[in-house]
Amino acid sequence: MHDLQRSGARSPCRTSGHAGSYVHARTLGGVSSPDAFAVPGVDWVRLGPGLTRLRRLQAGAVLVLTLALLAVLAWRVPGWRVGSGVLAAGAGGLAAVGWRVLDRSVRAWGYAERADDLVVTRGAVWRRIDLVPYGRMQMVDVSSGPAERAFGLASVRLHTASPSTRAYIPGLAPAEAARLRDRLTRRGQQQAAGL
Amino acid sequence: MSDRGHPRSAGFRRVHPVSPLLRGGLLLAALAVTLGRQALDGNRVVWPWWAFALVVAGCFAVGAVSWWSTRYRIGDDELRIDSGVLVRRSRRIRLDRIQAVEVQQPFLARLVGMASLAIETAGGSGTEATLAYLPLRQAAELRRHLLVEAGREGGEAPTTTASPDVVLHRVEPGLLLAAQLLRTGPLLAALGALATAVVGTLAGEPLSLAVLLPLALGVGSAVLQGFSRGYGFTLRRSEHGLSVRAGLFGVQSSALPVQRVRGLVVREPVVWRRLGWASVDVTVAGVVVRGDDDTRLSTTLVPVARRADAERLVTQVLPGLGPAATATTPPPRRARRLDPLAWRRLGLGGDDAYVVTRRGLLTRRTDVAPRGAVQSAGLRQGPLQRRLGLATVALHLPAGPADPTAVHRLAAEAWQLTLATGVPRPPA
């Protein structure tokens, strides 16, 4: 069943650099997760680096806006020079931490298509694994916002009859997202169970 | 009734002509209050009387037109409701898709013997359609008819010999009132008031009414609401399944389709537990609960009952739920470091058919999920849990009060529980 060999159990989590590598990673059996949260028999397909780039760009834009605002404050409002300096340093520090955190959190994301269910994992510190049996799926959405489209990304969301289901995979290549949706839908039809 | 020729008129009916009056009742009351205030204020009239007359007349006109333009028809396999003047709208509801039909009697409607029908289907967010108002007898008949039609799919043929309804449980008003008073909320409020009073006295200030009055009003209204909603709560078994009826001012009665029960939660607030009382709510597929406070009738199995009664009622909706399933095991001892107060109350148990979880410090809750109803599972692990090798698993059921969550389980056990999701229900 799922007793696929975990290849390179202690290999670093880094997926290789070029976009779309995770598509190949899937066909090669996936990139194994390095830590204990990886459960035996599950080989996670990790996200490519595109999502990290997008998130970093978004965070950078927020940082630039904040800094610009603080600069205007320091320049125009008397008595704000020190305060805005401190705030700017804080924002910079936050961004430096965020730079790493974004990468870690994107890299913690992964999914695995098993025989009877889809498993999605996310979160580097507060981690979660969501398991959705194919037979329970009601809908599979593929969506891609303007920013995501610019980076060639799409996300897949699964819906069941329960509103609590949170199975969401961002940062896929649109073609792979569409393929995943089709595979999931097909398996859902094959294994359909009632509510 | 079949579709006889002319679709515009054949078989169509309207709700009772008094309906717009009842629906506008609230507005009229608001107007009366405003007028009364003005009369009390006396010296200055802000709005002339004819403005009110105009508003009232306008409301009547709108109500009358909307009544005239709304018609319904029950066909062989669909309920059709046409409405609207400028934008015509024709809604058809397939009878075999109807999940539940509620007869509701708000206070005003009850005074004149009217009732409304709320019709629910699966997947809709909220009530699919409302027919308001019909004479009570007609509403009850229509509900029965709709349920029989809807039940046909499940192989529940309408029997001709009407067996009498069996009353499974009735809640005594005294117990209900006591239970409302002894809930956790009112108790905490009373403790808070006491603390305020003690501190105030020590500080040399007399008891401040400005603090106590809103508190008392809030608690009082909550208690009264719970009491009036659950008054005379009766659970019956008839040939069409379980049905529930309750209410002091506005009486509601609704079906509780047992074959659609997808989960259950038993709640025991801290004082109730000492007295051996519990409340039971069920998750019913297709009956959506709006908001946290809105425990509607069709999701309440019993608002309060002695434990033995509660257990008996639970087996009515979840057959085969025995002590083997409800016996839960606590999490490992090291969970007390994460939850020193309530870790003893945590638990997970179950058998082939059900999963049972327990949690809660003040209000203890026991959630039951039929394995076949679990839609998906979410395993969570925070940094502290990771250090201790523990994890929390939530089992996702269709929308409703039940929310089975196994807190602080051993990681391996948590993963096992997650993996068990989607294992088909063994044949009963």
Q: Give the domain ranges of chain B.
A: 19-154, 170-230, 234-419
Q: What is the pLDDT of residue A25?
A: 32
CB spacing of A133 vs B422 below 8 angstroms? yes
Using alpha carbons, list the distances in angstroms from residue A101 to A37, B224, B286: 18, 51, 41
Tokens coding A16? 């290789």
Q: What is the pLDDT of residue B294?
A: 46
Q: Which residues of chain B lie closer than 8 angstroms to A129, CB-CB?
A: 378-379, 415, 418
Structural domain boundaries of chain A? 21-26+42-47+109-190, 51-104
CB spacing of A133 vs B376 below 8 angstroms? yes
Question: Taking a contact as any Cβ pair under 8 Å apart, which residues of chain B between 398 and 417 contact chain A?
Answer: 398-399, 403, 411, 415
Q: What span, in angstroms and rounded, lies between the C-alpha atoms of B218 and B367?
A: 29
Tokens coding A186? 């097909």
Residues 6+ apart with CB under 8 A from A6: A32, A38, A40, A43
At position B360, the amino acid (one-letter code) is: G
The position carrying tokens 């955190």 is: A101
How far is C-alpha B346 from the geometric centre of its chain's CA atoms?
26
Q: Are B67 and B20 in contact (CB under 8 A)?
A: yes
CB spacing of A130 vs B377 below 8 angstroms? yes
Q: What is the pLDDT of residue B369?
A: 93
CATH-assigned architecture of domain B19-154: Roll (2.30)
The number of C-beta contacts closer than 8 angstroms across A and B is: 81
Q: What is the pLDDT of residue B54?
A: 86
For chain B, the maximum distance between any two Cα atoms, rounded to a whole number of angstroms, is: 84
Q: Which residues of chain A lie closer than 8 angstroms to B421, CB-CB?
A: 117, 131, 133
Question: Domain A21-26+42-47+109-190 carries which CATH code?
Answer: 2.30.29
Residues 6+ apart with CB under 8 A from B21: B63
Q: B6 CA to chain A: closest CA distance, Å? A: 39
ipTM given for this complex:
0.74
Tokens coding A18? 């070029």
- A193 contacts chain B (CB < 8 A): yes
CB spacing of A160 vs B403 below 8 angstroms? no
Cα Rg of chain A (Å, integer): 20
The position carrying tokens 């719970």 is: B226
Question: Taking a contact as any Cβ pair under 8 Å apart, which residues of chain B between 122 and 141 contact chain A?
Answer: 122
- A166 contacts chain B (CB < 8 A): yes
Q: For CA atoms B410, B411, B412, B414, give the dihedral sign.
A: positive
Give the neighbor-by-neighbor strand order of the sheet with B261-268. Answer: B300-306, B277-284, B261-268, B364-370, B354-359, B347-350, B328-329
Helices (H), B43-153: 49-69, 107-111, 136-151
Q: What is the pLDDT of residue B23?
A: 76
Q: A154 CA to chain B: closest CA distance, Å? A: 23
Question: Could you read off the pLDDT of A69-79 as tens digits, one per residue?
Answer: 999 988 888 88
φ, ψ for residue A167, nearest 5 deg: -115, 110
In this prediction, the residues of chain B whose per-residue pLDDT falls under 50 are 1-8, 152-162, 291-295, 425-428
**Paired strand residues for B100:** B120
Question: Could you read off the pLDDT of A41-80 as tens digits, one per residue?
Answer: 678 888 888 899 999 999 999 999 999 999 998 888 888 8
CB spacing of B379 vs A130 below 8 angstroms? yes
